[in-house]
Structure 1
Amino acid sequence: MSAVDRSFRSPAGRGAFFATVIVLAPVVVVAAAEAARRQFDLPSIVVLVAVSGGLAWATSSAARTAAFVTCSPDHVTVGLAPFWRTRLVRRDIQTADLVQIDAYAEYGGWGIKGSARGSRGRLYSVGGDAAVRFVMRDGRTYVIAFTDGPTAGAVLEALDRHAHR
């Protein structure tokens, strides 16, 4: 990133971390019970370590999950960290607007939802209803939701500042 890049993040709440633990912890318990039933032989220990490592990785990823927008003079990068990012060429952005969304009603929940070429576009969200919508010259649409409106507004301000450089 250059010195003039601006990055905006909307991190997932603690609920994402706890939901991951609640969903995956029983798998670790079952793996531990099976390892104990097998008297902790080598294959069961290998499976237990692999399953426990998967839980650690998943909870770490959930704790770092955030919708984001990074603005630079030539590009805008949007995505859901640490999973996915899309780099948009600034001159190909036709419009950038603030919009209100309901991720559950319009997209079926938060995460990476929809298609950039679909009627609503691709959503990157970890919650919130204040969003920035980028419509590209070729018709693709990207929507990035933020948990607070001021952050979404700051994205548009940063885009305007870069446009005037």
Structure 2
Amino acid sequence: KAGGWGWLADEGSAFWAGQRVFQVVFKNLDNRGRATLLTKLAFQKLKVKTEENLLLKIYSKNPAEIISSLSILAEKASERGDEVAQKILTEAGKELALAANAVIKKLNFQNKNFPLVLVGSMFKSKIILEILKKEIKKVAPQAKFVQPKVEPVIGAVKLAIESIKT
């Protein structure tokens, strides 16, 4: 195990990326950071018109859920060439690779041929996948990346049904 310590310490996760989006948006609004399309996208996604309402919306009942939902904006903005968003996704890819490589080393899988299953919303990002695969291949060149076509719960349900039949 590496990472996955909950939303406050899960580098590379949707919450982590959403938190970065939140930070760069407010830096942009304060004129402390680079201009970014993320600002406009955050206002649109959260259906607010003022900075104060943006802040109130984020700090509402479910801040972790709202902040996590902002992660998708990084992908949208990066597809339009936003360098700030691209940097967030690049960092996320590196963080996820660090965690995966830590487990690979713990298991001594560096020279083994093994499937590495990529499950989660962050693996929909082309930038994250590119960085992740590149970094993991440095440590485990024979790793095979697998992205399930269905949600993991479907597999669990199938296994449960099969166990009932037998």
Calculate the TM-score normalised by the size of structure 2: 0.27
Calculate the TM-score normalised by the size of structure 1: 0.27
The structure with more radius of gyration:
1
